């Protein structure tokens, strides 16, 4: 069987990407490329690991940018696309094309606190527990079928940064385990539902 080709999308520091890089031989995956929407720290991590980097910056015409991203992904022929801190919404055509093969990490317990400020929103809401979610991507914003979640208690002393760092520690482990299950066929999306073998 061929080694699954994984493409990672990231916009930030890339600690989730790093976790995948560090575990790639154990997972038996080939990280075929990192796609980013800017020259960010994740790009340096990918280059340091010898992974191809494609920087696809937002254009004034969103449709042109969407079409460009779709073309890049077609050319890369991924078995799995991991959105790991990618801060752009993926176009519905792209999502439909790769349905069941795109996952996203989100630093909250979805459906609570979707969107770009999940950690801040959980703190502002005064909840005691938040966490991390990994889900299949659908055409909505953070609405796709949930694959796995991990709860994190919020401390009185937490700032957005301290809480996010604690979430990310668990998020990295969760991502590794979900990528293992997906690439081994233990989890699939069937008719919009997550099916576990
Ligand atoms: C992660 O917490 C990820 O869940 C979040 O960005 C962080 C990326 O961390 N994603 C989102 O907020 C998407 N809405 P990293 O750059 O250290 O990998």
Domain layout of the chain by residue ranges: 5-186
**Coil vs helix vs strand at 81:** strand
Contact 62, 37 (CB under 8 A): no
In short, whether 45's Cβ falls inside 6 Å of ligand 1 is no
In short, whether 131's Cβ falls inside 6 Å of ligand 1 is no
Write down the pLDDT at residue 1: 65
Nearest Cα residue to 149 out of 124, 118, 126: 118
Phi–psi pair at 38, nearest 5 degrees: -175, 170
Active site residue 106: yes
SS3 per-residue string spanning 13-38: CCHHHHHHHHHHHHHCCEEEEEEECC
Q: Which two tokens stand for residue 175?
A: 């991502």
In short, whether 163's Cβ falls inside 6 Å of ligand 1 is no
> For residue 18, which atom of ligand 1 is closest to its CA?
18
Contact 81, 97 (CB under 8 A): no
Write down the pLDDT at residue 197: 86
Per-residue confidence band for 123, with pLDDT thresholds at 50, 70 and 90 = very high
What is the CA(44)–ligand 1 centre distance, in A? 17
CATH class for the domain made up of 5-186: alpha beta
In short, whether 107's Cβ falls inside 6 Å of ligand 1 is yes
Give exposure, 146-165, as e/b (b: 16+ Cβ within 10 Å). Answer: ebbbbebebeeebeeeebbe
Give the tens place of pLDDT for each residue, 31-82.
999 999 999 999 999 999 999 999 999 989 999 999 999 999 999 999 999 9
Determine which one of 106, 117, 135, 164 is catalytic. 106
pTM for the predicted model, two decimal places: 0.97
């Amino acid at each position: 069987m061929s080694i699954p080709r994984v493409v990672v999308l990231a916009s930030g520091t890339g600690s989730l990407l790093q976790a995948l890089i560090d575990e790639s031989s154990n997972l038996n995956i080939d990280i075929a490329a990192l796609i980013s929407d800017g020259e960010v720290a994740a790009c340096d991590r990918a280059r340091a690991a010898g992974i191809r980097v494609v920087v696809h910056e937002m254009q004034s015409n969103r449709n042109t940018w969407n079409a460009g991203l779709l073309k890049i992904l077609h050319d890369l022929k991924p078995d799995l696309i991991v959105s790991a801190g990618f801060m752009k919404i993926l176009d519905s055509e792209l999502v439909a094309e790769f349905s069941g093969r795109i996952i996203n990490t989100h630093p909250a317990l979805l459906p609570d606190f979707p969107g770009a400020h999940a950690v801040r929103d959980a703190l502002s809401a005064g909840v005691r527990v938040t966490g991390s979610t990994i889900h299949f991507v659908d055409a909505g914003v953070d609405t796709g079928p949930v694959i796995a979640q991990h709860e994190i208690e919020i401390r009185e002393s937490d700032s957005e940064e301290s809480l996010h760092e604690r979430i990310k520690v668990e998020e990295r482990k969760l991502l590794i385990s979900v990528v293992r299950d997906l690439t081994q066929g233990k989890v699939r999306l069937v008719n919009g539902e997550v099916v576990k073998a």
